[in-house]
Amino acid sequence: MIPSAFEYERATSVDDAIAKLAATGGTGKLIAGGHSLVPLMKLRLNEPTTLIDIARISALVGIRERDGLIEIGAGTVHHDVATSALLGAQCPVVSDTAATIGDPQVRNRGTIGGSLAHADPAADYPAMLLAVDAQIHLQGAGGPRVVAAEDFFQDLFTVDLGPDEIITAVRFAPVRAAAYAKLYQRASRFAIVGVAAALEVTDGAISAARVGLTGALSSAVRLSGVETALVGQPATAATVATAATGAGAALSDVSADLHASEAYRRAMVSVFTKRALEGALARLSA
C-alpha cells in the first residue's frame, strides 16, 4: 500500500492540463478524485511519474442545462450528481445511479470523468450513460471531439480516449422513464450486474428502448436483443418480463469470479434487466 515516487502538479485550466500531460511524454496521469488511480498506485499496479491534478479546474465542475440537453462537467463528484435537483426533476436515473456508487467518502471525491476514463468493467455510470444515449465530450491538443457513449466503451479498462486527451463533460437529453437496478458485490459495492433502462412510450406502446449493462462483460454494452423485443409492444409489466427473460442467456463471454459464476451472472442479467425496466415503467406513470 505504498506507491512509488511521483511528481505532483496542479492544472489551472483544461488547456493547462492538456499541455502538462503532453509534457510528461506519456508517463504522467491526470488525477481527479483519485479513487480509482490512488488504489492502483498503492498496489503499484500503476506507477505514473507525474500526477496532474485537475480537481480544482472550476470549468470542469457543475450540472447545467445547455441547448435542451443536460451537461455534467467531468469533474463533478458523484455526491453532487446524486443530489442534483435538476437531475432529480428531469432525469432521475442519473442521480439514482450515482447514489449507488461506493460509500459517502467515495461519492464525495470520485468524479464522473474519472469513472469513465478508468472504465472499470463493474462501474455503474457506463450502463446509465448508454441508456440515456449520452455524448462524451473530449478535448486534446488537436481540439475538442465528441464520442457517443456507445462507441466510447471498448474493452476492459479501454475507452476511446487519446493519451493526451481529457474528458470535459457528458451531455444527454433528459429521459424521465428510466431506472437503474444493481446487484451489489458485497465487499467492494461495485456492480456484479448493473442494468439501466430508458423507455419512450407513445400511445401506450414502447416507441424506443435503450438498455445498458455493466458488470457482466469486459465493458458496458447495450442489450440490443432486449431493446428489439420491447419496441412496438405495449408498455406493460408482461412485456418487460418477457423481454428480460432471455437477456442473460443471449450474452457471450460473461465474466466469472469469486463473487459470481458465469451462470449466476447470466441469471442476474435477466433479473436486473427486468427490475430496471419495471423501474422505468413505474416512472412513466409517476
Ligand X SMILES: Cc1cc2nc3c(=O)[nH]c(=O)nc-3n(C[C@H](O)[C@H](O)[C@H](O)COP(=O)(O)OP(=O)(O)OC[C@H]3O[C@@H](n4cnc5c(N)ncnc54)[C@H](O)[C@@H]3O)c2cc1C
234 DSSP 8-state letter: B
205 backbone φψ class: left, alpha, beta (φ>0; ψ -120 to 50): beta
Which x/- pattern, by CB under 8 A, does the window 201-240 give for another protein? Answer: ----------------------------------------
Q: Which helix (H) or strand (E) is 280 found in, with range? A: helix 262-285
38 versus 205: smaller Cβ distance to another protein: 38
Q: Do 1 and 24 meet the contact criterion of CB atoms below 8 Å apart?
A: no
Give yes or no for residue 183 binding another protein (CB under 8 A): yes
Binder among 268, 277, 280, 281 for another protein (CB under 8 A) = 268
Give the shortest CB-64-to-ligand X separation in angstroms: 17
> Within a 10 A sphere around the Cβ of 91, how many other Cβ atoms?
21
Which x/- pattern, by CB under 6 A, does the window 145-184 give for ligand X? Answer: ---------------------xx-----------------
Which among ligand X, another protein, none contacts residue 147 (Cβ within 5 to 8 A by kind)?
none
In the range 14-33, which residues lie near ligand X by CB under 6 A?
29-33
End-to-end CA distance of the chain, in Å?
Answer: 48
Give the shortest CB-258-to-another protein separation in angstroms: 5
In the range 70-109, which residues lie near ligand X by CB under 6 A?
74, 101-102, 106, 109
**Beta-strand (E) ranges in 61-174?**
63-66, 69-73, 135-140, 143-148, 153-155, 158-159, 166-172
Give yes or no for residue 43 binding another protein (CB under 8 A): yes
87 versus 123: smaller Cβ distance to ligand X: 123
Q: Residue 89 is which amino acid? A: A
Give the shortest CB-25-to-another protein separation in angstroms: 22
**Helices marked H in 91-223 — which ranges?**
92-99, 104-109, 112-118, 125-131, 149-152
- Residue among 12, 9, 14 at smallest CA distance from 167: 14
Binding site for ligand X (CB under 6 A): 29-37, 39, 54, 74, 101-102, 106, 109-111, 113-115, 117-118, 123-125, 166-167, 188-190
